[in-house]
Structure 1
């Protein structure tokens, strides 16, 4: 449907794209990923005609409509429904039911239809923009971080909606699970090129890693060959008897194109510094209630005991009190009723949206990080800046010039600079790219203190949380268990999430918590098979023949892999690497089965 050929785009010395191509076929839903600042949003602007490429050819079919989720907020109609209807096509301008269906799915109520768009919070205004786009039914949807302002309930609605979309999609998002659920293909912007494959994000990351590892090994080997050839030429250049050999080596060197060393891509890498808390109890929250307006209580009679080492995810719909609860825990707000008793030695590292707004824009990155802990020397501060991807002169950038993602990293740097034993994190992944989110998740996982986190990422909740505080059905509850256990035993209000039967079925599958339990289940299955099977000599002979055949195939695959590495054929290398892993696994499985059958036969 869309064909981009030989695209190049630069801003001064910064090269985003260099002679790269991308094809989008009918019905494809493409996840567009890459580090922040690598050109994802720029590619959107080029497709929309808002920016001009430096070089290249972009072919878009005639009458092909492209819809884009606007990031700015501008409303002209007095009611929510009228504003949403602006997105309808001209011939459907009176089909209000279409707009209503989308609005209901995004969490709006019947009563909201007549309210002013300006009366809603920023998150709900973003949803209104999304509704205006969806009702226009374009051929191609360009969605730039569509989940940034959506809560879990809305994300669980929009996933099946987008999967059922008849046209094409290109989605920029940092939410890996969301992309894997929605998209059929993944395109990565990396080293000024766009690489697209069928399948999820992990497949593409593994392919790129394998190719770059092979490239670097080949480059090092060729560099050694070059040095040996140069040494030979220098040593025997003056000897007439070696003239033919020297000339042969010179010609070889001329043919051998020197490969450039791959530059390292800056990555987020850090650990939160732990201040030990010699107590089993971190905080007691006793029967608290809170409301900004008496007629609209956000939290009612919440009881919560937070133990040292707890991993608590605060989840639910936007605007229901999640961030307010964190502000209460941090001591920035006081409960109307009840009390909060933190441990006397509690040291909180607080990542909140208001904290980002409070960064001193007159300071540099280095100055802002240093202000968090006066005991650190400049070398230590610079080290923390480097961990947050502000190495060298980047640490001297003014906070006022930073993007949202960069400011998030500065705030993380301030938390790292000061040892803590209680992390309070309010949507810490907003504005971070996929690789940075992975680094953050791993850092939280390694942290030995207590963690309370607000996030809409179901993947992060599954990986980190052992206890939940859930805002749902106009109340707040504490659930002592994992997210999958919550979905199985309670689940979200089905009235809020249309078309979730498929997800409900998935949640009813038995949950395997750890490797030990997985091994136990495998052993049970193996025992059943063992009891049911009648081993015989023919079984053993068949397994031995299979092993011989597979080992022969593995030897051939290794030989082909060596040849492909010499030739630098990255596609073949990737295919053969996958094949050798599959063959090794198959051989191991056959040996295991042979051992079981042999033992049974002996018994």
Structure 2
């Protein structure tokens, strides 16, 4: 376990951390959140000893092994199996099966195993580094954006792996769904400090908002009290009869702590500019086929209609042709066969990973947003820049000075500026932080036009995709429903495995009924106490939250009247109830996890009877 004590870090005049304290407990998996530039990656570097501290210390136990995902690439072996096997310890050097299992989970195939690392794209080379890190089994995993370059199947595999990892995890990721499914705790960098709770990022931000609201009520109450004292002193200090009393109020005022106003982080909100259209069907594809060579088609006979307001998600493993299909639909590539028909009033915006080459290197970011729509108000342009994480003077940078990820964000900002009714978006959430992704997702939900979307984000698919085109080993197929329906009705073939032959029933009807009854009775006997515990804890939480609501209201009243004794008393009660609620939630999570595991165990037993 590691411990940070009074850690401070500055860059020139900018302070990232101020006397922060943090202890990582056994088996904790902590998601680290905060706006881009708040210091998340710097914190990782300080833990690794790659960045100096300006104050405080970081304690790491002896023989405690920390593993970090490296973005730089250096390979020395001839095959990817031999390369990843370098991470095996001396005692494990013959356990090549573990290496192969790890590589398969991260999207490599049997044919890939004997290939050279240099034969793969940069994204897959990053996966090799991730495989080497995971196979080494450190005590602590430091994962900075491990979801970059992973497709949905690899993300689902990595989720499962991290949930069962026998150690600690510190995780930075823009993928909120991935983070919340893996972590036990959430920690945020808030106003140069660290704030942590047990639970997911939704609970974290709700608690943060509640804390800020309570602080603000106390601050306003104190501010009112200070003004009353100052007015009393001003009125009475000159009178001989009340001068002594005024002086005592001066001393009381001097003893009062000053509660500063909270620094507020801007709430991101932006919208796509919708171009009105009379069309009910925005675009339609009929029998589309495409391949870079006639005998190697990426997809064939794809047909669909996209109505106004609908979103079509394109999903599948990397390298199967998702971006190619989107580029064909957007007119960037010409299909081999078939036809695409769009309504004459259709105006499209296309965000593709290769479109950054169209940016003018000599323009500033603000200039490029204006290229998207010269009629926009300056305040709107600034809002788009902020949403794409270019605030303040950063928005005045020239395109030539930007990284590839930053240029991608500028391209997305250009599309936000345009008047459109059909959007083609290829991995639009890459290179955005969690808050910007949420703002972009909400903008997509509000958009009145139609969207064709390539993404590996399961949360984004669930929220916006109405229909799907799914790339599998057999090609691409149109699916007339959303992502959850796809998982329920079809699912990923790599997860489902090969179809199994029909089995002969193990038992006759009488035996089957008797065995099912026995298993169900046993399940009820073991599950009922846990169900009772869950229901009791839920009722307790509801009762305490109601009490907490009442106490908070009373505290607000006491703050407005300046009753300091009552404020202290109620503050203690609020703190006590908050701790009790958090404790109850922890117990509820444990009980619910046990109940879920128990139910899954008995479902498996029942399934074995079939």
**TM-score, normalised on structure 1?**
0.82
Give the Å deviation of 1:300: 1.8
Give the Å deviation of 1:462: 0.9
Helix, strand or coil at the partner of 2:452: strand
Range moving further from structure 2, 552-561 or 422-431: 552-561
Helix, strand or coil at the partner of 1:362: coil
After superposition, give the CA deviation of every residue in 1:130-150 in whole Å (9 maximum; x if it has no partner).
111111111111111111211
C-alpha separation in 2, matches of 1:439 and 1:40 = 20
Residue of structure 2 in register with 1:4 after alignment: 4
Give the Å deviation of 1:226: 1.5
Give the Å deviation of 1:430: 0.9
C-alpha separation in 2, matches of 1:441 and 1:549 = 34
Give the Å deviation of 1:123: 2.5
C-alpha separation in 1, matches of 2:547 and 2:60 = 50
Change (3 A) 1:572 1:108: farther
Runs (5+) with no aligned partner, structure 2: 499-541, 560-565, 583-610
Residue of structure 1 in register with 2:146 after alignment: 146
Correspondences of 1:126-275 after superposition (within 5 Å):
126-275=126-275
Helix, strand or coil at the partner of 1:445: helix
C-alpha separation in 2, matches of 1:572 and 1:393 = 45
After superposition, give the CA deviation of every residue in 1:283-322 in whole Å (9 maximum; x if it has no partner).
1212111122445421122112222211111111111111
Change (3 A) 1:364 1:560: closer
Residue of structure 1 in register with 2:428 after alignment: 428
Residue of structure 1 in register with 2:44 after alignment: 44
Residue of structure 1 in register with 2:297 after alignment: 297
C-alpha separation in 1, matches of 2:289 and 2:373 = 34
C-alpha separation in 2, matches of 1:549 and 1:52 = 44
C-alpha separation in 2, matches of 1:51 and 1:569 = 43
Runs (5+) with no aligned partner, structure 1: 499-546, 582-603
Residue of structure 2 in register with 1:65 after alignment: 65
Change (3 A) 1:277 1:271: same
Give the Å deviation of 1:474: 3.0
Give the Å deviation of 1:224: 2.1
Residue of structure 1 in register with 2:16 after alignment: 16
2:368 equivalent to 1:368? yes
C-alpha separation in 1, matches of 2:545 and 2:166 = 44
C-alpha separation in 2, matches of 1:246 and 1:302 = 84
Residue of structure 1 in register with 2:342 after alignment: 342
Give the Å deviation of 1:572: 5.6
Residue of structure 1 in register with 2:512 after alignment: none
Give the Å deviation of 1:461: 0.9
Residue of structure 2 in register with 1:505 after alignment: none
Change (3 A) 1:550 1:309: closer
**TM-score, normalised on structure 2?**
0.82
Whether contact under 8 Å (2:276, 2:421) holds in the other structure is yes
Helix, strand or coil at the partner of 2:344: coil
C-alpha separation in 1, matches of 2:458 and 2:332 = 28
After superposition, give the CA deviation of every residue in 1:173-208 in whole Å (9 maximum; x if it has no partner).
111111111111111111111112111111111111
Residue of structure 2 in register with 1:544 after alignment: none
Change (3 A) 1:166 1:402: same
Residue of structure 1 in register with 2:441 after alignment: 441
Residue of structure 1 in register with 2:103 after alignment: 103
Correspondences of 1:74-113 after superposition (within 5 Å):
74-113=74-113
Change (3 A) 1:486 1:496: closer
C-alpha separation in 2, matches of 1:376 and 1:3 = 49
Residue of structure 1 in register with 2:567 after alignment: 566
Range moving further from structure 2, 449-458 or 81-90: 81-90
Residue of structure 2 in register with 1:512 after alignment: none
C-alpha separation in 2, matches of 1:147 and 1:3 = 26
C-alpha separation in 1, matches of 2:403 and 2:17 = 21
Change (3 A) 1:290 1:386: same
C-alpha separation in 2, matches of 1:374 and 1:324 = 31
C-alpha separation in 2, matches of 1:279 and 1:370 = 28
Whether contact under 8 Å (1:558, 1:580) holds in the other structure is no
C-alpha separation in 2, matches of 1:300 and 1:497 = 24
Helix, strand or coil at the partner of 2:292: coil
Helix, strand or coil at the partner of 1:155: helix
Give the Å deviation of 1:161: 1.0
Range moving further from structure 2, 371-380 or 469-478: 371-380
2:325 equivalent to 1:325? yes
Give the Å deviation of 1:257: 2.0
C-alpha separation in 2, matches of 1:12 and 1:22 = 24
Range moving further from structure 2, 138-147 or 82-91: 82-91
Change (3 A) 1:480 1:402: same
Q: CA RMSD, aligned part only?
A: 3.0
Helix, strand or coil at the partner of 2:113: helix
Whether contact under 8 Å (1:218, 1:568) holds in the other structure is no
Change (3 A) 1:386 1:194: closer
Residue of structure 2 in register with 1:32 after alignment: 32
After superposition, give the CA deviation of every residue in 1:393-432 in whole Å (9 maximum; x if it has no partner).
3331223444566444422321122100011111111111
Whether contact under 8 Å (1:268, 1:389) holds in the other structure is no
Whether contact under 8 Å (2:163, 2:182) holds in the other structure is yes
Whether contact under 8 Å (1:557, 1:579) holds in the other structure is no
Change (3 A) 1:169 1:562: farther
Give the Å deviation of 1:377: 6.0
C-alpha separation in 1, matches of 2:575 and 2:466 = 38
Range moving further from structure 2, 7-16 or 565-574: 565-574
Change (3 A) 1:176 1:374: closer
Whether contact under 8 Å (1:8, 1:20) holds in the other structure is yes
Whether contact under 8 Å (1:272, 1:415) holds in the other structure is yes
2:265 equivalent to 1:282? no
Give the Å deviation of 1:560: 6.8
Whether contact under 8 Å (1:554, 1:580) holds in the other structure is no
Helix, strand or coil at the partner of 1:291: strand
C-alpha separation in 1, matches of 2:434 and 2:35 = 7
C-alpha separation in 2, matches of 1:467 and 1:193 = 43
